[in-house]
Amino acid sequence: MGNARRFAMIPGPKPLPIIGNSWRFALGQKPWRTKSLDATLWRLRELAGSGGAAKVAKLFGHPDLVFPFCAEETAKIYRREDSLPYRAVAPCLKHYKQELRKDFFGDEPGLIGVHGMPWSKFRSKVSKALASPEAARSAVPCLDYVAEDFVKKMESLLDENSELPKDYLTELYKWALESVGAWALGTRLGCLSNDDVAAKDIIRSIHGFFHSVPELELSAPLWRLYSTPAYKTYVDALDSFRSLCLKRLTDKGICASIAKVSGEKVATILALDLLLVGVDTTAAAAASTVYLLAKNERAQRRLQGELDKNLPAGRILNSRDLDRLPYLRACLKEALRIKPVILGNGRCIQSDAVISGYEVPKGSHIVFPHYIMSNEERYFPSPEEYVPERWLRDAKHQSDTEPHTVDVCRRQRVVGIHPFASLPFGFGRRMCIGKRFAEVELQLLLAKIFHKYDVSWRHGELTYSVTPTYIPNEPLQFTLKHRDKRCQ
């Protein structure tokens, strides 16, 4: 600590008296825009320079934010945290759970937006059912039914040019919502049927929820003074999710087993949290992976070769089938490296620390910008290129007829893959508790799509709004062509 530089020396945008830095996001001037937070992070990376860290101080309702752009620093911070790691407080969600709907939540606050002992107690009631590998593996058959139904529906959505419709992203939201309902609530929600008015309302709520979060959390907290439009959208969405979970809780699924032990209230609150983190993010991951494979014919052909060799015909898939698809898993990892569904994770440190050579006081919020690190040359050679082979440990699987791919893999082996350079699901006790289920959902959907179709992209570069979840700006009009009849 004696050799560390002062906290005030950490570079970053200069806050103004009284109004701090919130005005930047309120005005939305580049690069301080709530819908392009990726550009914000790249600007902070420039400011960090060789020092490796930047900060954004004086945001209304938030502690100072410190961004260490270094995988080693990320590892040190994660490894020094205690058994009750604190994430940054989400003022709006805290207000909803602990004040606005306190009569419902009471002393069962859930997992999202909660910290310390209340979070730990709730987690102890649900972690065994959610976190074990066996739980996700046992959910494969029911998720396979959902994926199969969705791929069949995709066929009916194709136009005369074999192109998917402009609202295909909404269809992916329906698939993700139906999947969460299948494994968490133990029921089919009906999102993939033609009569899906209720599902559309839920999808609208999901959109509204995630679009309102950046405005409420980063801009001036006017919602504390009066009900702003974004605040109303936010609350209405949460109320809709809560109502859905109350109505559709069954005697099957993960939440049913939790209800038997800890009561229906705990199960309902868990289901609500799973909806908040498991629909928008999973749909975004599916969209990005399909897009990257559609743009990379070499990788797509290699994936299809693996699927042709290992996927059984005429029966529902199980976890052992997925175990035989290492290249599929590599395709997903590479997509989440290039386009992680969220830009970073964070911790609110509970003691003074030295981070990237700077003194950082207790209570500061440390943001791990894994989106930046996973797209930097020092960690991933040729970071802009989609090369799933870089994730294959066995060198014989990295051989390729394309010299450039071989070269990228060779350089990656020299550098190695730092375990903290790409963390799309976070790390430690507060890692995404539905990680295993999300991976299974995505693997099943991708396997079925690319086993049945050749997928191509006829349009320009796909761009995103980052809020902080990745949301494609352009329609996902992929072109699907049936493969050989042997592969269907």
Q: Concatenated DSSP letters for 308-340? A: HHH--SSS---HHHHHT-HHHHHHHHHHHHHS-
CATH assignment of 91-342+418-487? Answer: 1.10.630.10
Checking if the pLDDT of 170 tops 80, the result is: yes
Q: What confidence tier does 1 reach under pLDDT thresholds 50, 70, 90?
A: low
Positions of CATH 1.10.630.10 in the chain: 91-342+418-487
pLDDT winner (highest mean) among 72-86, 106-120, 364-378, 421-435: 364-378
Checking if the pLDDT of 165 tops 80, the result is: yes
**pLDDT attached to residue 398:** 54
Per the CB < 8 A criterion, the answer to whether 333 and 364 are in contact is no
Per the CB < 8 A criterion, the answer to whether 111 and 119 are in contact is yes
**pLDDT attached to residue 397:** 55
Per the CB < 8 A criterion, the answer to whether 45 and 54 are in contact is yes
Q: Concatenated DSSP letters for 88-154? A: PP-HHHHHIIIIITHHHHTT---STT--HHHHHHHHHHHHHHHHSHHHHHHTHHHHHHHHHHHHHHH
**pLDDT attached to residue 437:** 92
Q: Which residues are annotated as a binding site for heme?
A: 432
Q: Which residues are annotated as a binding site?
A: 432
Q: What is the pLDDT of residues 290-345, one digit of tens each?
A: 999 999 999 999 999 999 999 998 889 999 999 999 999 999 999 999 999 888 88
**pLDDT attached to residue 399:** 53
Q: What is the pLDDT of residues 107-143, one digit of tens each?
A: 888 888 787 888 889 999 998 888 778 888 999 999 9
β-pair partners for 453: 482
Report which residue type is found at 61: G
Q: What confidence tier does 468 reach under pLDDT thresholds 50, 70, 90?
A: low
CA-to-CA separations, 365 to 189, 357, 454, 488, in angstroms, rounded = 38, 16, 45, 50
The 8 Å CB, 24+ separation contacts for 412-419 are 412/380, 412/381, 412/387, 415/378, 415/379, 415/380, 415/381, 417/379, 417/380, 417/390, 417/391, 418/71, 418/72, 418/75, 418/379, 419/75
φ and ψ at 14, to 5 degrees?
-75, 125
Radius of gyration for the alpha carbons in the chain, expressed in angstroms and rounded: 22
Q: What is the pLDDT of residues 344-395, one digit of tens each?
A: 888 888 889 999 999 999 989 999 999 999 999 999 999 999 999 999 987 5
DSSP classification of residue 252: S
The helix (run of H) or strand (run of E) holding residue 346 is strand 345-348
**pLDDT attached to residue 13:** 94
**pLDDT attached to residue 488:** 46
pLDDT winner (highest mean) among 27-36, 303-312, 399-408, 478-487: 303-312
- Closest Cα to residue 272, out of 89, 443, 108, 439? 108
